[in-house]
Amino acid sequence: MNPNPDPADTLEIDAAAALERQHGGALLLDVREDDERAGGYASGSFGLPRGEIERRIADLAPSRDREILAICASGARSLLAAKTLRGLGYANARSVRGGHARWRQLGLPMEHGALDADATERYARHLVLPEVGVAGQQKLARARVVLVGAGGLGAPIALYLAAAGVGTLTLVDDDVVERSNLQRQVIHADARIGEPKVDSARTALNALNPGVHVETVRERLRAANVEAIVRGHDLVVDGADNFPTRYLLSAASVRLGLPLVYGAVHRFSGQVSVFDPRRADSPCYRCLFPQPPSAADAPNCSEAGVLGVMPGIVGLLQANEVLKLVLGVGEPLVGRLLCHDALAGTFRELRLPRDPYCPGCGTAATFSGYEDVARICAA
């Protein structure tokens, strides 16, 4: 071991100076993981993850006299890489101070990876997450999500899914924006009162992320159109406020094998779950509500009222479940009902097993048409 190690500052070099040294023949070594590099990299750099340096560096730099400049996201990993390289005999190894963050800040030459420049910058905080990365962001870009309801729940769901880069969002709603909506339906604006909600929402989403394709269906979900609207998507999000729509969505979810992300709010409380017919252990919506409650037992928001933030809290939980399902990460709320009490400030999780006698997905369940499903609620 060298009793007089180099001070830390001799191990680092500024990004602008590193570019000059690169032009002079130095090897610029990107020590990030491959999925990070796919989001964009310094021009002319070679990718070699830090964990593979000992095994592969001799192939890239046979001469230990060659100057090697290690670069990472912020400068931490590259400093460790430079120390590793010096330990291997590369006396001229250094770390680029500030990493790619500094390189970009100075406007130094970059190459685009699997994502374009806009996506690389827009989703930068996603790309550094190992659970997302470039591959995950591409999954989000390919996803097709249908959101039924552009009101209280639909507002935060749509905003955050668009912000996250979900490629196609189909909004379904037949209502128009009213002033009383604005207390909780934050996707709309006072200037758009009287507009169809789907058009108002599309305006907001296009302003937030022009790269997301927003399709609109200005219709009420009915027995005659539910399957045609839902078909062709990867999953369904329930942003509705009535039982007929939810029963129709549940039936379509089961028949088409599409996950259904459920949410509901009432006064100061809300609940979220995921019904995924692709999983043998998953319940469906009718395992929770085999028959619809009476109107007296389940008044809507206009009758019972709702705290303005409640749809935001529940809608964001639903958006989170959508992202988990698309990315294939975490544990979705399948077989679990997450309940939130805003007044108490508590969350409670209830087990929700699949009901073998469920009229929607049980072993003896029969489907006689969407019209019959609609009649259940009408009765």
- Answer yes or no: are the C-beta atoms of 349 and 338 closer than 8 Å: yes
- Answer yes or no: are the C-beta atoms of 67 and 20 closer than 8 Å: no
Pairwise CA distance, residues 17 & 23, whole Å: 10
Count the helix, strand and coil residues of the chain and give each as a percent rounded to the nearest 5. Answer: 40, 20, 40
- 3-state DSSP assignment of residue 378: helix
Q: Which class for 223: exposed (0-12), middle (13-18), buried (19 or more C-beta within 10 A)? A: middle
Sign of CA dihedral 208, 211, 212, 213: positive
Element housing 15 (H / E): helix 15-23
Residue 369 structure tokens: 């048409």
Count CB neighbours of 136 within 10 A.
22
> What burial letters (b/e) apply to 98-129, b meaning 16+ CB within 10 Å?
bbbebbbeeebebeebbbeeebbebbeebbbe
* Residue 301 appears among annotated catalytic residues: yes
Bridge-partner residues for 351, per DSSP?
336
How many helices (H) and strands (E) the chain has is answered by: 16, 15
377: nearest Cα among 264, 245, 263: 245
AA letter at 163? A
- Answer yes or no: are the C-beta atoms of 69 and 18 closer than 8 Å: yes
**Of the residues 287, 301, 358, 361, which is catalytic?**
301
Pairwise CA distance, residues 160 & 279, whole Å: 26
Pairwise CA distance, residues 132 & 121, whole Å: 15
Residue 189 structure tokens: 């604006």
Enumerate the active-site residues: 301
